[in-house]
Structure 1
Amino acid sequence: MCTTPTSGATRRYAADIVALHDRLSHRHLRDHLPSADLLHEAVRGDGLVTVAVATEHLPHRYLLGLQGFRLAQYLQLGWACEEALHRSAGFCEPLQSLHHDDVHVVTYSSRTGRVLGYLSLTASGDTEPRELRDPDRSRFPVETAHRVDVFDSVPVPDGVRSDQVRELKRFVHSRTLTDKAQRLRVTLELLLGAGRTLVALEPAVRVLVGDVEEQVALRHLLLAGLDVHLIEDTRPWLPDDDLLHLAYTRRGEVKPFVAHVPDRAELEGRVEMLEATLASEDLFAATDAFSGAVRGSTQRTAA
């Protein structure tokens, strides 16, 4: 549990894990990913590299590194439990929680080897596609944490199956990113990678779910032009022995969301606009223009 004062040994252990992942280099990640396995690739002249790849195609050591990057950022934010980590002798988020077809979108510097940003598009975990009203379908992590069926609150188009839904998770930036322009660039690279992934995936993803703080990650969804349905008045909770239970007690109010994904033609148009935005000399002005053109929205519904 993380409700009592943390011991010096536990704090040192957590600090050592953060330092470990800060030293790791992902400089050669792209070299170990066959082009046929990539859902997205962008190599920029300033050394930024972004790739999108499924769990099953990531070399094990890089998968451990990315799970460690996620953990290190949450530790620094105070959203991962140092005691649970120390007690388990862990050094990354558990691999058992991953599915073979989860997609990892990663932006890193080929010059320093540092991961600068990350997000995942998590699959349902069903061994075969199920109807969303099927009581036996696997629950997405957001549904488990908030103890709701998100599709009770926000209806989705007829015929959508569980393999056409992805949970957007762990949209995180490296804590080393302090330059606002660089941070925005990484955000846009991750959104571009997610957009190209959604264009490429079969069957087509028609719905995104997840949970967000309104003043943080929600802005990224609106920037991408999504119409976001927030589900109000849930009480998220994870057991005290869960590594990430503090993510629901130390953050601001976190709300589940459901967002319908535009059709492929619309997605392709937004991807091209994002590419043009990233190529602009005035990134902030171009981002404002992009956001104004796609115009995301927020709606609210009770749990």
Structure 2
Amino acid sequence: MTISELDVEYSRALVTLHRSLRYPDLPELAGSSVLSVIEGLGDDLTTVSFSADVADERCLQAVFGFRLAEFVDLSMMDSRLARRTALLAEPPDATVVHTVVLDADGRILGYVGLLGSRDLLPRRLDDPRRTRYPVEVAHGVDLLTPFAGTGLTTQQVFEIKRFCRAGDVPPGRTSERVPWHLILALGRTTQAMGRPLMIGDSRENGALRHLRLIGFDPLVIPGTKPELPRTSLMWESYMVPQPAIPFAGVVPADLAGYLDAIEDGLGAGHDENWQRRTIARLSAVRRQRKAELHTEKETP
């Protein structure tokens, strides 16, 4: 068997393994680390956000295994490097919050993480000594300095990581609902953090699209030429004609209104038009907010 064939067999076995695993007790395992639970919306999905620093080790192995398998399957992680280093899960990183969507059997269908700063002490966003976030390193940009005037520190900046849905979820209602569950849980979690600065990279039809729908007005830096060393698992993710673009945005003050609209849409919408109605309602919330801001500016 050639090296290439070994890589293919490894990838298939890895993806098959993790898609066969079930974690029906994950919410209970997460225990005191749970930050948010979304359930009872009529779709048999449960979405759990939990803090990495106090999570059970089995929870962490579940999410890092899912991340590796799904991104290898997407050809966004180097399967050869993963095989050579005998990985069954992505190595732990500075992710501070993990969010997973589980089906009724406990299978992970979707994931998003929030990665925190590696600085041991809070630093100003324009501090030249601060540690750069992975997205800044990959794109060669400074995403934080433009927000130095907000008074936030590096401990209030989080990078959105690994936003994805399991690749074998067939098109249909469940496939449509998984990203909305992730966005809703991400929003509820950031509400508890105050109004932090969110950064990351995404294509326009990915996480960036969802963030715009919930009131973010992100700074976007187009035209970058991202790259990672071949020793990085994710180097292949940027070897595409249109790589993701970096963005940064402070959590909007009126986020709660958008999240309520999403939760109402998920809870009430069980026909083929539910997603269209939800997007229309989000657009209405945004228009209302703009009108209110315009009125505030005109009021002496």
TM-score range, shorter chain: 0.7 to 0.9
Letter in 1 for 2:255: L
Tell me the residue number matched to 2:86: 89
After the TM superposition, which residues 1-303 of structure 1 pair with which residues of structure 2 at under 5 Å, given as runs? Answer: 7-34=4-31, 36-44=32-40, 45-95=42-92, 97-99=93-95, 102-109=96-103, 111-152=104-145, 154-201=146-193, 204-250=194-240, 252-263=242-253, 266-281=254-269, 282-295=273-286
User: Aligned-pair RMSD on alpha carbons?
Assistant: 1.9
How many residues align? The count is: 282
AA aligned to 1:161 is: T
1:300 is matched with which residue? none
User: Distance in 1 between the 2:149 and 2:67 partners?
Assistant: 33
Unaligned runs of 5+ in 2: 288-300
The answer (yes or no) to whether the contact 1:166–1:205 under 8 Å persists in 2 is no
Contact 2:261 2:278 in 1 (8 A): no
Task: Please give the secondary structure, in 2, of the residue aligned with 1:13.
Answer: helix
Structure 1's 255 and 18: CA in aligned 2 closer, same or farther, altered over 3 A? same
Report if the CA contact (8 A) 2:215-2:255 is conserved.
no
TM-score norm. by structure 1 comes to 0.87
- Checking the alignment, whether the CA contact within 8 Å between 1:167 and 1:208 is kept in structure 2 is yes
Question: Higher strand share goes to which structure?
Answer: 1
| Structure 1 residue 179, shift from structure 2 partner | 2.6
Paired position in structure 2 for 1:299 = none
Instruction: Deviation per CA, 1:6-61: give whole Å up to 9, x if none.
Output: 52112211211111111111111012122x43211112244211111111232112
Task: List per-residue Cα deviations over 1:202-241 (Å, max 9, x = no partner).
Answer: xx24311100112333222222221122102221111112
Greater fraction of residues in helix = 2
Q: Which moved more, 1:176-185 or 1:239-248?
A: 176-185
Q: Find the aligned partners of 1:33 and 1:15 in 2 and give their Cα distance.
A: 29
The letter of the residue matching 1:8 is E
TM-score, scaled relative to structure 2: 0.88
Q: Distance in 2 between matches of 1:257 and 1:286?
A: 27
Aligned to 1:301: none
Deviates more, 1:287-296 or 1:238-247: 287-296
Partners of 2:139 and 2:3 lie apart in 1 by 27
CA distance in 2, matches of 1:293, 1:52: 28
CA distance in structure 1 between the aligned counterparts of 2:246 and 2:22, rounded to whole angstroms: 34
Look up the equivalent residue of 1:252 and give its one-letter code: Q
Give the residue type in structure 2 aligned to 1:91: L
The residue identity in structure 2 corresponding to 1:219 is R
The residue number in structure 1 matching 2:292 is none
Worse overlay, 166-175 or 36-45? 36-45
Identity %: 34
Query: Structure 1's 268 and 214: CA in aligned 2 closer, same or farther, altered over 3 A?
Result: closer
1:292 CA drift (Å): 1.0
Kept in 2, the 8 Å contact 1:210–1:256? The answer is yes
> Any conservation in 2 of the 1:192–1:275 contact (CA below 8 Å)?
yes
For 1:169 and 1:251, how far apart are their aligned partners in 2? Answer: 21
Which segment drifts farther, 286-295 or 80-89? 286-295
Q: Tell whether the 8 Å contact from 1:18 to 1:72 is kept in structure 2 after alignment.
A: yes
Counterpart residue type for residue 196 of structure 1:
R
Note closer, same or farther for the CA distance 1:176–1:248 as it changes in structure 2 (3 Å cut). same
